[in-house]
Amino acid sequence: MSERRALLEAILYVTEEPLTLEQLARGVEWPKEEVEALVAELVAEHQKPERGVEVRAVAGGYKISTKPEHHEAVRKFVKTLKPPLKLSMAALETLSVIAYKQPVTVPEIQEIRGVNAAGVIKTLLDRKLITTAGRKPVIGRPILYKTTREFLVQFGLNDVSELPSLKEFEELSRAALGEEATEAGA
């Protein structure tokens, strides 16, 4: 039972919108009565004063949120964090080339992308997503670039070996574009 309760807690944690008992039961394929009992246990368990979050009934469903007594302290803390990483499509493309081909030079990046990358390189350096990795031993000795620890942190990776393979990346892209097309048509 505790494994099932833990699974429901994880599901409520990752979803942004409140989930109804029916949605939960249908999604995990358990009887609604069992889901209702487990959610009631989660609600009671999270009411304890030593818990920082609660499972609450909201808009006909359930969701996990911070307890009201912690709102101001949490809000103050969140304001101290860096804003989310926002990159242009050109910056994302360039960063992808560097991540997969590193160490790589600006001329090599430009050859792959087909456009000038100097401005984007500066942006990525300023954001500490890439760094220099020496110089390539060829005529002109161009600077080599590689990703940084900050890149790994921003993208939730332990190391670059966790990047999806190019084949997996293409499949993810196709799936994402398919979903966008479906949403646009709805």
Structure tokens at 53: 């979050």
Indicate the residue type of 23: Q
The pLDDT assigned to 179 comes to 57
The CATH architecture that domain 2-67 belongs to is Orthogonal Bundle (1.10)
For each successive 10 residues of the chain (186 residues), what is the average pLDDT? 90 90 95 95 93 90 91 86 80 92 94 90 94 94 94 86 79 69 50
Bridge partners, residue 58, by sequence:
61
Domain with CATH 1.10.10.10 in the chain: 2-67, 89-185
CA 88 to chain centre: 17
- In angstroms, rounded to a whole number, what is the distance separating the alpha carbons of residues 179 and 29? 25
Indicate the residue type of 5: R
Three-state SS at 7: helix
Query: The pTM is what?
Result: 0.54
CB 62 within 8 A of CB 19: yes
- In angstroms, rounded to a whole number, what is the distance separating the alpha carbons of residues 80 and 146? 29
89-185 fold:
Arc Repressor Mutant, subunit A (1.10.10)
User: CB pairs under 8 A, 24+ apart, for 97-102?
Assistant: 98/124, 98/130, 98/145, 98/146, 98/147, 99/147, 99/151, 99/160, 99/163, 100/163, 100/166, 102/133, 102/144, 102/145, 102/146, 102/147, 102/160
